[in-house]
Amino acid sequence: MAGIIQIYNSIPRLKRVVTNKIISPVSGANPADAGPVKLPNTRGNLIIVGTSGDNSFSWTLEVNGGHGRFPTDFTQNFFFQIGSNVNCTVITLQTNKLEITTPAGDSGGRKYILQFKPLQSVPPTVQQITGNIIGNNTLTINVTYCLIVNT
């Protein structure tokens, strides 16, 4: 019984982890301008920050999802946390698909598509879809998520 009591007395800690994906240009063109680019495969409550390399403009939003054990679980889907957006407008195009629009301060404004997959083995993707390309600059996507760590 001492082992069972030991488990119940442990207090888990939350650890914040930041993943960093720098999408660098190839031959003068940024891959995010041409098509979807894979991001780190993370689940849970995510804080996503995008930064354009040409003008250092940053936008932020939060999503929650990727929970559940089976692809048919509704909690596998990702949902935008209304009111969490900073320096951008977010529209839910369909389940697991967000359109992020940045203001004119981001080189005249850009639109990004953030696509999540409810399958845990498939990472989310980002794509820049406006004519105002990122070009020969970087796009940095930081994703912050929480892990439960036993003490």
Position 10 pLDDT exceeds 70: no
Cβ proximity of 146 and 15 under 8 Å: yes
47 part of a folded domain? yes
Mean pLDDT of 143-150: 80
- Specify if 113 maps to a domain: yes
How much is the pLDDT for 97? 95
Q: Inform me whether the pLDDT recorded for 27 exceeds 90.
A: yes
pLDDT tens digits, one per residue of 70-114: 767 777 888 999 989 999 999 999 989 999 999 998 989 999 999
Residue span of the structural domain in which 96 resides:
13-149
Q: 69-99 b/e with 16+ CB inside 10 Å = b?
A: eeeeeeebbbebeeeebebbebeeeeebebe
The verdict on residue 6 lying in a domain is no
Classify residue 42: in a domain, yes or no: yes
The larger pLDDT score, comparing residue 10 to residue 47, is at 47
The tokens of 121 are what? 């083995």
In total, how many domains does the chain have?
1
Label residue 138 by pLDDT band (50, 70, 90): very high
Asked if residue 1 belongs to a domain, the reply is no
Domain contains 7? no
pLDDT of residue 4: 53
Q: What is the pLDDT of residue 55?
A: 93
The whole-chain average pLDDT of the chain stands at 87
In a domain, 125, yes or no: yes
pLDDT band at 5 (very low <50, low <70, confident <90, very high): low
Is 80 part of any domain? yes
